[in-house]
């Protein structure tokens, strides 16, 4: 009895059907919670939870009063009791108000106007795993929960994440959906597993991690709220406290002189929804058989008589908590249902596409129908392959899984990958080839010398240019052949991506399709590579020096002269000026420098003067026997210039003599007292190579050959870079795209192969059955959601 003789507020247990219905502003809102309950049953039947359904999840540490709060909400004793972990499996508790059902809602069987089968004033429970059975004795409900828990987890205090679904029908409850989880524990007791804490924690996070769940964090008021395990766990997934409700239990057990006013006023650990204080039955009340209805009246009297809490009754008592949860859950479901409906529709469409791809069982089809099905599969495969090459959007729909899920904007696929090979792989690799990567200056000098034969030529021999440029052009063939291999691999990859779900039904047909595709592509590779080799052979067959992009001999010499002039930067003009009337200016490196204060004249043939070796004293000489330097030479004329560079000063000429050695007329001699001694010529080596550095003439000849080779190599490279992609597209890609369907039909559509090729695998029938069941369940779920016609018309 409340202080001052005032009547206590009515408890949940005393709420009649009329009071329940009159407390709701709109009956339609009360339909929302049963709808979500039905969705839970649908997905529990298939063992999957593809949707995040709105529900209230109850968490708390052991002995925090979780079970008592739930029993007070229901108004009956039905949960197992004992020491240690009692709740070892999640319990999904669905509460139905029978007064609402009798008033025109649906009964548990989904029948409209559920008055039939609902006894007036009766209370009972039903388990999902024992569908159709009603438990009117709540002690039997308790025993069934214990039995079902032990069945799955044994009796060693182990836990399991598989839920127990329980429905309770009563005229004294409000429609609610609650999930009771095992209490948070710290230390394993008895034969509990050592990692019991981490197991319970993971289970709780899995449920409260659902963004559509409301967290009911239960904490004993006689402990420090800052040490609350439930609030700490809730903060991990809801750091701002937007969907967490705090429940303070055992308010009557707080030390005298203390209260939880600051917590209830949201000053300690703020939560957007706030806190509710309750008083549950103690062990003495349970032992004395105090009923829950009596306990609720006792609770109301405690808060009304308390000097602090009587001013905040809107945040106290279990009936207040129940109404708050009912109100919050209805609003939350109303906000979530549009998204849930969209998700169900999308899943239904996906399952429908899967069933369409799986088709009808082949055992029920005639041979003619099987043949038509095979032709359809082969045609769709060829069409998908063609779309992949041409970049049409239907290729995405043909990939495994019914689409690429946005990959068309994240990566290249199909024909775009082939284009990437042409431009980025082959093109850049070809442009990166150095025309002289495998050709040294010494090899060029040797080629020029070999082309001259026994008599040095007056000009650079053309045969050396032909020889060297052909050698470099041949290097282009291998990248072209490698490009064919890359495109071949890409076509195989593309064909594998075109395997639709329809084709995977028939592994024998799929293997034969792959075999035909591989065989056809390999047949195309040979002619493609042959054509690319012929492109190189065509270039080697005729060196077109009149090509408009070829630099030519005169331009090569002119560029070389300009380059050498820039490198010298004014050499030969130290004391005078340079005549500019000759086109051969600047090429006489070794001997083109004028004396101090003099002027250098450049008359006659520039190329002939360039090819003459310059002497050390600055004059320009010509190749000829007996030519001498202008000022005399210590070595004896031009022969000394040619061979003297190879003679080693200070070489000993004979035993006991210390005279110097020289070169005269090509003979090696030693001077002893003014008398010449005849010596033998050295042995001719079997392999002759240049050992000394090049002279000025050889340098210029080498540079001219290099300029001509680089220019013509660039011409051929551009032609080759243009023709290789065209060749591959004509002989390989387009041929495969245009002839794939004909190849598949001619090789596979045969009477003796249809029956064997169109045989399904053993798992296809199971997949079809599961998909059909899933489609029926999703359709049922969609019908359930469609019971609410307009989600935004409900007002509280």
Q: What is the pLDDT of residues 684-729, one digit of tens each?
A: 666 666 656 677 777 777 788 888 888 888 999 999 999 999 999 9
* 321-290-251 Cα angle (round to 5): 45
Res 586 pLDDT > 70:
no
Domain match, 61 and 120 both: yes
Strand 667-672 and strand 675-678: the pairing is: antiparallel
| 258 close to 230: Cβ distance less than 8 angstroms | no
Q: Is 347 a residue whose pLDDT tops 50?
A: yes
Question: For residue 778, is it within any domain?
Answer: no
Residues shown for the chain: 796
Give me the mean pLDDT over the 758-781 stretch.
Answer: 78
**Cβ neighbours, 10 Å, residue 193:** 13
- Are residues 403 and 261 part of one domain? no
CB atoms within 10 A of CB 732: 23
Count of domains in the chain?
A: 2
User: Residue 783 is encoded by which pair of tokens?
Assistant: 């019908």
For 325-338, write each residue's pLDDT tens digit: 988 988 888 888 88
Question: What pLDDT is stored for residue 481 in this prediction?
Answer: 95
Task: Tell which residue, 173, 172, 190, 208, has the closest CA to residue 90.
Answer: 208
pLDDT tens string 18-35: 344 344 445 556 677 888
Region 303-323: mean pLDDT is 92
Decide which of 286, 315, 336 is a domain's last residue.
336
Query: Does residue 647 have a pLDDT over 70?
Result: no
- Rounded to 5°, the CA angle 247-251-255 comes to 135
CATH classification of the domain holding 419? 1.20.120.1240
Tell me if 553 sits within 8 A of 528, measured CB to CB.
Answer: no
User: Looking at the domain assignment, is residue 345 inside a domain?
Assistant: no
For residue 506, the model assigns a pLDDT of 78
Dmax over CA atoms of the chain, in Å, equals 155
Domain-located, residue 422: yes
For the chain, the straight-line distance linking the first and the last C-alpha, in angstroms and rounded, comes to: 32
Considering the domain architecture, whether residues 525 and 424 belong to the same structural domain is answered as yes
Q: Which of the four pLDDT bands, split at 50, 70 and 90, describes residue 553?
A: low
Instruction: Give the domain-ending residue among 315, 336, 357.
Output: 336
At residue 110 the predicted structure's pLDDT band, cuts being 50, 70 and 90, is very low
Same domain? For 211 and 104 the reply is yes
* Helix/strand/coil for 484: helix
283/414 same-domain check = no
Q: Are residues 417 and 518 in the same domain?
A: yes
Q: Which has the minimum average pLDDT: 196-210, 500-514, 647-661?
A: 647-661
Whether 378 and 305 map to the same domain: the answer is no
Q: How many helices (H) and strands (E) does the chain have?
A: 28, 11
Same domain? 435 vs 310: no
Name the band, by pLDDT with cuts 50, 70 and 90, for residue 189. Answer: low
Q: Is 459 helix (H, G, I), strand (E, B) or coil?
A: coil
**Same domain for 374 and 330:** no
Give the global pTM.
0.55
Q: How far apart are CA 559 and CA 708, in angstroms?
A: 11
| Mean pLDDT lowest among 8-17, 266-275, 286-295 | 8-17
Residue 475 and residue 411 share a domain: yes
Range of the domain at 163: 3-29+56-336
210 in any annotated domain: yes
Question: Strand 55-60's sheet: what is its strand order?
Answer: 124-127, 164-170, 91-97, 176-180, 55-60, 213-220, 244-249, 275-277
- How much is the pLDDT for 447? 76
Task: Indicate if the pLDDT at residue 756 is higher than 60.
Answer: yes
Do residues 311 and 382 share a domain? Answer: no
484 assigned to some structural domain:
yes
Token pair, residue 132, equals 């159709």
Q: Clarify whether residues 178 and 78 are in a common domain.
A: yes
Quick one: 246 exposed, middle or buried, by C-beta within 10 A (0-12, 13-18, 19+)? buried
CB proximity list for 222: less than 8 A, separation 6 or greater: 250, 253, 254, 255
Q: Residue 134: give its domain's CATH number.
A: 3.40.50.300
Over range 628-635, report the average pLDDT: 38
What's the pLDDT score for residue 104? Answer: 52
What pLDDT does 611 receive? 39
Q: What's the pLDDT band for 581 if we cut at 50, 70, 90? A: very low
Among 468, 422, 428, CA closest to 444:
468
The predicted-structure confidence for 421-480, as pLDDT tens digits, reads as follows: 999 999 999 998 888 887 777 777 777 777 777 776 666 777 878 888 888 899 899 999
The verdict on residue 682 lying in a domain is no
Tell me, yes or no, whether 702 lies in a domain. no
Give 788-796's long-range contacts (Cβ < 8 A, gap of 24+): 788/28, 788/31, 788/32, 788/35, 788/337, 791/334, 791/337, 791/338, 792/334, 793/28, 794/26, 794/28, 794/29, 794/32, 794/330, 794/334, 795/25, 795/26, 796/25, 796/26, 796/29, 796/327, 796/330, 796/331
């Amino acid at each position: 009895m409340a202080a001052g003789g005032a009547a206590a507020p009515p408890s949940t247990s005393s709420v009649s059907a009329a009071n329940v219905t009159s407390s709701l502003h709109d009956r339609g809102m009360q339909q929302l919670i049963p709808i979500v309950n039905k969705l839970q049953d649908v997905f529990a039947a298939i063992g999957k939870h593809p949707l995040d359904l709105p529900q209230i999840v109850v968490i708390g540490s052991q002995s925090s009063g979780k079970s008592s709060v739930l029993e007070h909400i229901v108004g009956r004793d039905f949960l197992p009791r004992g020491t240690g972990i009692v709740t070892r499996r999640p319990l999904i508790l669905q509460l139905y108000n029978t007064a609402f059902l009798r008033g025109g809602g649906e009964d548990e069987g989904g029948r409209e106007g559920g008055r039939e089968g609902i006894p007036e004033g009766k209370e009972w429970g039903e388990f999902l795993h024992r569908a159709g059975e009603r438990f009117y004795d709540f002690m039997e409900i308790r025993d069934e929960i214990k039995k079902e828990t032990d069945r799955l987890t044994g009796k060693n205090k182990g836990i399991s994440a598989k839920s127990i679904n329980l429905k309770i029908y009563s005229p004294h409850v409000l429609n609610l959906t609650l999930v009771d989880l095992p209490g948070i524990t710290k230390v394993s007791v008895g034969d509990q597993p050592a990692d019991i804490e981490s197991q319970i924690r993971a289970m709780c996070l899995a449920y409260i991690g659902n963004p559509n769940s409301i967290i009911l964090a239960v904490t004993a008021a006689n402990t420090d709220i800052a040490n609350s395990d439930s609030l700490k766990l809730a903060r991990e997934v809801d750091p701002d406290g937007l969907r967490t409700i705090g429940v303070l239990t055992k308010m009557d057990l707080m030390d005298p002189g203390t209260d939880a006013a600051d917590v209830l006023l949201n000053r300690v650990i703020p939560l957007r929804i706030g806190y509710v204080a309750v008083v549950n039955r103690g062990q003495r009340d349970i032992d004395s058989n105090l009923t829950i209805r009596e306990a609720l009246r006792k609770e109301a009297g405690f808060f009304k008589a308390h000097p602090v809490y009587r001013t905040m009754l809107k945040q106290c008592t279990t009936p207040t908590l129940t109404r708050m949860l009912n109100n919050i859950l209805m609003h939350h479901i109303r906000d979530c249902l549009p998204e849930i409906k969209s998700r169900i529709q999308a899943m239904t469409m996906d399952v429908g596409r899967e069933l369409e791809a799986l088709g009808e069982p082949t055992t029920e089809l005639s041979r003619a129908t099987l043949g038509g099905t095979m032709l359809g599969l082969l045609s769709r495969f060829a069409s998908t392959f063609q779309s992949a090459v041409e970049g049409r959007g239907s290729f995405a729909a043909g990939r495994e899984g019914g689409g690429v899920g946005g990959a068309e904007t994240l990566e290249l696929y199909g024909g775009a990958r082939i284009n990437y090979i042409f431009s980025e792989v082959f093109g850049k690799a070809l442009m990166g080839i150095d025309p002289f990567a495998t050709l040294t200056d010494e090899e060029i000098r040797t080629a020029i010398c070999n082309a001259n034969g026994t008599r040095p030529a007056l000009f650079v021999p053309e045969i050396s240019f032909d020889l060297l440029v052909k050698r470099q052009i041949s290097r282009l063939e291998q990248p072209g052949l490698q490009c064919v291999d890359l495109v071949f691999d890409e076509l195989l990859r593309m064909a594998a991506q075109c395997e639709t779900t329809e084709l995977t039904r028939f592994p024998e047909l799929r293997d034969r399709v792959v075999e035909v595709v591989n065989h056809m592509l390999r047949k195309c590779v040979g002619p493609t590579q042959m054509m690319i080799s012929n492109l190189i052979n065509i270039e080697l067959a005729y060196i077109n020096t009149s090509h408009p992009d070829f630099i030519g001999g005169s331009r090569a010499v002119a560029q070389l002269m300009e380059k050498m002039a820039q490198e010298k930067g004014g050499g030969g003009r130290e004391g005078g000026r340079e005549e500019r009337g000759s086109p051969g200016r600047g090429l006489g490196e070794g001997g083109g420098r004028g004396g101090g204060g003099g002027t250098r004249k450049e008359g006659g043939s520039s190329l002939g003067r360039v090819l003459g070796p310059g002497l050390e004293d600055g004059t320009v000489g010509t190749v000829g026997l007996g030519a001498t330097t202008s000022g005399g030479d210590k070595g004896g004329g031009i022969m000394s210039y040619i061979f003297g560079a190879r003679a080693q000063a200070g070489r000993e000429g004979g035993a006991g003599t210390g005279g110097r050695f020289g070169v005269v007329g090509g003979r090696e001699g030693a001077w002893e007292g003014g008398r010449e001694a005849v010596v033998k010529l050295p042995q001719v080596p079997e392999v002759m190579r240049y050992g000394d550095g090049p002279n000025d003439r050889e340098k210029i000849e080498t540079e001219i050959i290099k300029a001509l080779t680089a220019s013509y190599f660039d011409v051929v490279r551009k032609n080759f870079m243009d023709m290789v992609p065209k060749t591959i597209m004509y002989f390989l890609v387009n041929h495969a795209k245009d002839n794939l369907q004909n190849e598949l039909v001619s090789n596979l559509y045969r009477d003796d192969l249809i029956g064997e090729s169109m045989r399904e695998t053993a798992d296809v029938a199971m997949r079809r059955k599961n998909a059909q069941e899933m489609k029926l369940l999703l359709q049922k779920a969609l019908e359930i959601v469609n019971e609410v016609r307009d989600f935004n018309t409900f007002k509280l």
